[in-house]
Amino acid sequence: MSKAAGDPERAVNGLLSVAQLLEEPRLARLYTFVLREGEVTIDNIVAELEMPRTTAYSDAGTLVELGVLIRDEEQKTHTYSAVPITLTANLDGDKYTITPTLIETYGRSPRDQDLDLLIERYGLGKLAAAIAYALPYAEGEMSERVAARELDLQYSFTIAVLQALRDVVVDMRTVDPYFDEIRNAREQPPIVEE
pLDDT of 193 over the 70 cut: no
Q: How confident is the model at residue 189 (pLDDT cuts 50, 70, 90)?
A: low
The DSSP bridge partners found for residue 70 are 81
pLDDT of 33 over the 90 cut: yes
Average pLDDT over residues 50-79: 91
Q: How confident is the model at residue 9 (pLDDT cuts 50, 70, 90)?
A: confident
Question: How high is the pLDDT of residue 10?
Answer: 75
Average pLDDT, the chain: 89
Question: How high is the pLDDT of residue 2?
Answer: 39
pLDDT of 114 over the 70 cut: yes
Average pLDDT over residues 130-147: 93
- Using CA atoms, how far apart are residues 62 and 59, in angstroms rounded to an integer? 5
Where along the chain do its domains lie?
Answer: 8-82, 91-181
Residue type, position 90, single letter = N
Lowest mean pLDDT among 6-20, 141-155, 167-181: 6-20
- Using CA atoms, how far apart are residues 59 and 161, in angstroms rounded to an integer? 28
Question: How high is the pLDDT of residue 11?
Answer: 76
Q: How confident is the model at residue 5 (pLDDT cuts 50, 70, 90)?
A: low
Average pLDDT over residues 27-44: 95
Assigned CATH class of 8-82: mainly alpha
Greater model confidence, 86 or 54? 54
- Helix (H) / strand (E) containing 181: none
pLDDT tens-digit profile of 54-65?
Answer: 999 999 999 999
Question: How high is the pLDDT of residue 57?
Answer: 94
pLDDT of 144 over the 80 cut: yes
pLDDT of 3 over the 70 cut: no
Q: How many CB atoms lie within 10 A of CB 181?
A: 15
Question: How high is the pLDDT of residue 97?
Answer: 86
Measuring CA to CA, which residue among 102, 123, 92 is closest to residue 18? 102
